[in-house]
Structure 1
Amino acid sequence: MTTRGGTLHAPADLRGGGHGHPPTRLPVVVHVLALGTFLMGTTEFVVAGLLPEIASDSQVTVARAGLLITVFAVGMIVGAPLMAMLTLRLPRRLTLVLALGIFAAGHVVVALSSSFALLLAARFLTALATGAFWAVANVVAARAAGPTASSRALGVVGAGAMLANVVGVPLGAFAGQLMGWRGPFWALAALGAAAMVLIARHVPHDGSGPTVVSVRSELSAVRTGRLWLVLAACATTTGGVLSTYTYISPLLTDRAGLASGLVPLVLVGFGAGALAGFLIGGRLGDHRPYVTTIAAAATTTILLLAICLLSGYAALTIVLVALLGLFGLGANPVLISLGVRFAGRAPTLGSALTVSAFNLGTAIGSWSAGLALESSLGATGPAAIGTVIAALTLIPTIAIALTQRRRPAAHTPAASGAGRPSPGPDR
């Protein structure tokens, strides 16, 4: 049983405490895929630091230029499951290479365009490619690492996007100031083209799509309550954290009394915490997936409530924001792993749906937080909304754990087997 080919990995208890032993090193392909998600995460958020320049050059208001972020989010929500179905019959390596090719082309169009409408269209196209890449990358990483290390592998892949917030986005904004706002898009196009070569070299040739290629079969395979509980948890955990994060600047300046120049440093602290959370959460999730998701949801709720109540204290608020990054997104790789696993014979579609759920939670959370910001709650409104949304995560995560305890004899298709039943119990 190998970790790189199309053969199945040795069976293991999903809790990781039994017969399987996680490998000490993850396959190289996992880190190559993390490079891809780093590029995806950078392009999603780098626009935020370039909005004034883009608005001025495109002769639109900054608020209208913000549609470039909204359109990207919508493209991710729609694109991940849509592209998963459209590329159903393609080998996974080819899908990843094509997605990066479209990603690079979309950035070239943005860099050359003088029409705001064309900018929006290119951003939407790039989001479709991003959704396709992310969905397939999760499945390829899980298969390459095997069932005993799938959450750890997904933590590394997701950490690429978290690293984008710490390194990629600030560098992109700095480059935009030096070279003009088009410079970062040229750089991302070049890096996307280079990533195509790495993907083509390192993703196994036989890492093709699922053996079941009927759209009807794919859709029927995801009609499971456990998968939809995972998707609900994906939406609420991300919605709770990012509803607060989206409007963290007024909280820090108006309530905590921080100088506006210090806000980026606090955001770097959040990003560093999120990066560590993805890596640690992935490791813990291979051993105790259900305990990890419940504990992360409970801790996140407590942290957000503390931010609501203690945001008048600057030093304490800075620490709480960093801890929010650590715990708030730490369960995401575990949820992705469970989504892939519970989707059974449709792992790519299951992965795609988790991507959509994360982005849907972000969209709803940030929208409701914006309303709260304008209410009598003021700067603490988004954190109050985030507390409520994060608390809701406890419902699906506890339900998943209880459901699994009642299924001692059940068998779950392993992500690495692309729909073949796993000999181990699904607990």
Structure 2
Amino acid sequence: MPFSLYLLALAVFVMGTSEFMLAGLLPAIASDLDVSVGTAGLLTSAFAVGMVVGAPLMAAFARRWPPRLTLIVCLIVFAGCHVVGALTPTFSVLLITRVLGALANAGFLAVALTTATALVPADRKGRALAVLLSGTTIATVAGVPAGALFGTALGWRSTFWAIAILCVPAVLGVLRGIPRAPSRNGAVPALRRELRELGSPRLVLAMTLGALINGGTFAAFTFLAPVVTEIAGLDAGWVSVALVLFGVGSFLGVTLAGRWSDRHPGLVLGIGGPLLLAGWLTTALVATEPVALLALIFVQGVLSFGVGSTLIARVLYAASGAPTMGGSYATAALNIGAAVGPVLGGIGLGAGLAAPVWVAVGMTGVALGVAAAFRRSVVGSSVVE
């Protein structure tokens, strides 16, 4: 894999830390800004909504810019949003910064996905995606638990300052790893032609499945802290342990999927999907048992990111006719789920703290039912059938 892919992954690590870090900070933010935990969970959904809207919007707006310029501008805006978020005493302002930061994140990720897949042969998109998403999984291993510890020791605002500071080496990495290139005027298809790809049943199916699986993951992950502390009865310090376990599992899952998803997507989805559903169901039933819960958090990290990244690779294959917009379609699929999942999980909190995990059960079950009904279309875009 080209070294520039790993430098892009560094920036994805920074942004992934910001996206996921709220899982360990929601109770502190809710207390400080005088809102409920369910309302604070809207910060995750707001970020995801910004990603859904921002991915195609930013990709279309900057599609003729040099990729390096787009990536750098997005990182600078992202850093600025975190500075404002660290300073504001108002929940509504924090919510707005999350949306604007998500727009910048969306633009970055959409261009990064397109750039990453352009750096490798056509039959290695899954491997390139795995390298890029490793930045996100490492964020859950190191960045998110560190953010939770920062939040516990120094207050939740310290994590926002840390993200803003980490954007500096991310910018330097992009400057070093992505070559200066001229504008791509005349080298890309018409925007209308790329948007027509959204009418492809195979692309719509892949995006839908990716959104459902990611929605289930985010529904459970966003409200992981109260599950660990309130249901399992563990101390607040164990939230960081749980996040590390999930992150290590997700890194393993995306790495394994990267090796298999290009040539054997049916195998990954056919085995991993049912296991993922069984895992969420078991988690909901045994969440009161600390040891079992922590073990399942690790396993679900492996399965959710293994299955989820394979489906996002399917989106990239299905969107091969949209070279500048395909990355935005994959980003939108990821974040439609990330927007809907926490909202459903937050609504369900009224019925009990385990409700978000049951939301994950439901969304995963729907995804498996749809995938079973249209199996040939799901895996049919492989390079090797």
Partner of 2:67: 92
Contact 1:230-1:397 within 8 A present in 2 as well: no
Deviation at 1:189, TM superposition (A): 2.3
- 1:155 equivalent to 2:133? Answer no
Counterpart in 2 of 1:23? Answer: none
**1:293 — aligned with what?**
269
Q: 1:169 and 2:153 equivalent? A: no
Structure 1 residues 276 and 78, CA gap change in structure 2 (3 angstroms) = same
1:239 to 215, 222, 243: 215
User: Aligned in 2, Cα 1:104/1:385: closer, same or farther, shift over 3 Å?
Assistant: closer
Contact 1:237 1:329 in 2 (8 A): no
* C-alpha separation in 2, matches of 1:230 and 1:89: 27
Aligned: 1:103 with 2:83: no
Deviations 1:332-353 (A, max 9, x none): 3322222122113313423212
1:191 maps to 2:166: yes
Task: Please give the alpha-carbon distance, in whole angstroms, between the structure 2 residues aligned to 1:50 and 1:266.
Answer: 14
User: What is the rounded CA distance, in whole Å, between the counterparts of 2:148 and 2:355 in structure 1?
Assistant: 28
Residue 297 of structure 2: which of 303, 321, 324 is its match? 321
Q: Give SS of 1:347's match.
A: coil
Structure 2: which 5+ runs fail to align?
none
Query: 2: CA distance between counterparts of 1:299 and 1:55?
Result: 34
Tell whether 2:4 aligns with 1:29.
yes
Give the number of equivalent residue pairs: 383
Question: Which whole-Å CA distance do the structure 1 matches of 2:90 and 2:357 have between them?
Answer: 37
User: How do 1:204-243 residues align onto structure 2 when only pairs under 5 Å count?
Assistant: 204-206=179-181, 211-243=187-219
The Cα of 1:400 is off from its aligned counterpart by: 5.5
User: 1:132 matched to which residue of 2?
Assistant: 107
Q: 1:283 Cα deviation (Å)?
A: 1.2
SS of the aligned residue for 1:73 comes to helix
Structure 1 unmatched runs, 5+: 1-25, 413-423
Q: TM-score, normalised by structure 1?
A: 0.79
1:318-362 superposed Cα distances (whole Å, 9 cap, x missing partner): 222211111112123322222122113313423212222222223
- For each residue in 1:193-218, what CA deviation from the matched residue of structure 2 results, as whole angstroms up to 9, or x when unmatched? 33222212212445966933532122
Deviation, structure 1 residue 113: 4.5
Structure 1 contact 152–333 (Cα < 8 Å) conserved: no
1:390 aligns with 2:376: no
- For the Cα contact (< 8 Å) 2:188–2:323, is it kept in 1? no
1:425 CA drift (Å): 5.7
Contact 1:246 1:366 in 2 (8 A): yes
Deviates more, 1:252-261 or 1:333-342: 252-261
Distance 2:335 2:378 in 1: 26
Letter in 1 for 2:188: V
Structure 1 residues 305 and 110: CA distance shift in structure 2, 3 A:
closer
C-alpha distance 113-258 of structure 1, shift in aligned 2 (>3 A): closer
Residue 252 to residue 52, structure 1, CA distance change in 2 (3 Å) = closer
Q: In the TM superposition, what is the alpha-carbon distance from 1:233 to its structure 2 partner?
A: 0.9
* Residue 355 of structure 2: aligned partner: 381
* Alpha-carbon shift at residue 219 of structure 1 (Å): 0.8
Greater relative contact order structure (CA < 8 Å, 6+ sep) = 2
Taking a change above 3 Å as real, the CA distance of residues 94 and 353 of structure 1, as seen in their structure-2 partners, is: same
Give the letter aligned to residue 331 of structure 1. Answer: V
The normalised TM-score by structure 2 is 0.87
How many angstroms apart in 2 are the aligned matches of 1:181 and 1:313? Answer: 28
Alignment partner, residue 403 of structure 1: 377
1:270 aligns with 2:246: yes
Residue 387 of structure 1 aligns with an amino acid whose one-letter code is V
Distance 1:53-1:322 versus aligned 2 partners, 3 A rule: closer
Aligned mates of 2:86, 2:335 — CA distance in 1: 25
CA deviations 1:35-86 (Å, max 9, x no partner) are 11111111123345455665677x5435565554342222112111111111
Distance in 1, matches of 2:246 and 2:113, equals 24
8 Å contact from structure 2 (residues 130, 257) kept in 1: yes
Write the distance in 2 (CA, Å) between the matches of 1:272 and 1:245. 14
1:123 counterpart letter in structure 2: R
Q: Structure 1 or 2: larger helix share?
A: 2
Query: Is the contact made by 1:226 and 1:400 (CA closer than 8 Å) also made in structure 2?
Result: no
Q: 2:336 aligns with which of 342, 360, 370?
A: 360
